[in-house]
Amino acid sequence: GSSSPAPHSPPTPLFSPDLHMEMQRSLLEDSPMVAVRRNERRVSGPMMLGAALCAVVCGVGLVGAAMGFMPSADGLLGASSSRTLQHTKQPMMTMRTFLQQTGYNPLQAMRSPLLEQQRSSSILTPNAVAPELLEAPAKTDFSEPRFMWQSLREAIDEEMERDPNVMIMGEDVGHYGGSYKVTTDLYKKFGEMRILDTPICENGFTGMAIGAAMTGLRPIVEGMNMGFLLLAFNQISNNCGMLHYTSGGQYKVPVVIRGPGGVGRQLGAEHSQRLESYFQSIPGVQLVAVSTPRNAKALLKAAIRSDNPVVFFEHVLLYNLKDEVGGPDEVQSLEKAEMVKEGKDITILTYGRMRYTVMEAVKTLQAKGYDPEVIDLISLKPFDLHTIKNSISKTNKAIIVEECMLTGGIGASLSAEIHERFFDLLDHNVIRLSSQDVPTAFALELEAATIVQPEQVVDAVEKVMTSCQ
């Protein structure tokens, strides 16, 4: 495993806000999208009202609209009654019919200049297409270590190059490059229809992404902070996770919802949310938590290619963690845990940033003569129970270390699974080390007191080992 990342501040923005907005105006002066740009931070009263109306209209009706315009040879949802999926002789105009009559091809408008050298004359928004590349991009040296934000950017770049149906949308993902640089300069290569800046309207653009996924695209939704995606919980729960089932398997929703979360460094209560357990209870949605630059890239590529909706958790303090990454062909299973360290005395199950807290504790434990086994869960839904069982069969003891809350957290769910399935393998009840059930404080010392520290892991292991002697 990698060493614990050094504390750091969030990456410096690429541009100042004033220069950024001036560039936006000059580039998009002919574009109808300029009025709804996320990056116009000093929003006027009328624009704020427009954003509010957008939230209501998009959040409530956008997915339904996407379903109503769903291209289908049988006019599946075009009938006057939406209660049954039945063919009618005179269906409403579908989106496919509209596109055929107008000659507009949205996929052509979103394709990379590397894939399409000539622009289509039917593009409605010329400024939304990147200029043609003057020279081939330089080859990437995969032996060089990467920051995690770079490895995530690399995964998105490679998958957009591989599949013209992949796109990304969210607040500040375009010219600004994302809050943590993950989409830096991708708009120059793929154009502004595939790197789509959105208004401050999480329920609206998440609903739009789900509708786009239903029609054949593979959207990536970036939440500027995972806490903001609570505004889109209805779209993620009632639409994203259930449409495949409620349509009788006729629709797939291949969408990735990703972004930073977890306790940072003095980000305050509302920006320090851990929402893993919120989304874990949603049927039909997979949950993945990355922890290294290598597994971040390989898992994001797998999530983009998956036909299932995936909620992809990135910890805010790991973006500047640096390590080697795999090449464009390395893809990691979304359902498999990662063995960080083999051992024989006790199994420690963890994920995300807590992987490094545990490995700090392991140094002390080894000095005291203990040999713990450390497993990074990676998949928070479903759990890799096969790997967990094999480890507990060897050690007969388990501790769960998480940053999620104690009540109703990931650890609570996993502990129940272990006790119900592998009770006969245990010499001691499963111990959970979780965050305190309090809002995260801004003060640095109080913030640290709410989450698990290495000393607590060492203490818990010693108590379990002593009681089993």
Are 461 and 372 a contacting pair, CB within 8 Å? yes
Radius of gyration of the chain (CA): 24
Are 11 and 181 a contacting pair, CB within 8 Å? yes
- Catalytic site residue 271? yes
CA distances from 259 to 85, 152, 223, 314, 467 (A): 35, 11, 5, 6, 41
> Among candidates 396, 336, 404, 351, which has minimal Cα distance to 372?
396
- Catalytic site residue 330? no
Tell me: cis bond preceding 382? Omega within 30 of 0 counts. Answer: yes
> Among candidates 320, 285, 309, 342, which has minimal Cα distance to 1?
342
Tell me how long the chain is.
Answer: 469
> Among candidates 181, 134, 179, which has minimal Cα distance to 157?
181
Cα–Cα distance for residue pair 334/343, rounded to 1 Å: 24
**220 three-class SS:** strand
The first and second tokens of residue 162, run together, are 């591989």
Q: How many CA atoms lie within 13 A of 64 on its CB side?
A: 9
Of 158, 202, 314, 373, which residue is the catalytic one? 202
Cα–Cα distance for residue pair 260/321, rounded to 1 Å: 14
Q: Which helix (H) or strand (E) holds 129?
A: none
Say what the alpha-carbon torsion angle 24, 28, 32, 37 is, to the nearest 10 degrees. -10
Of 154, 271, 315, 403, which residue is the catalytic one? 271
The residues assigned a catalytic role are 202, 271
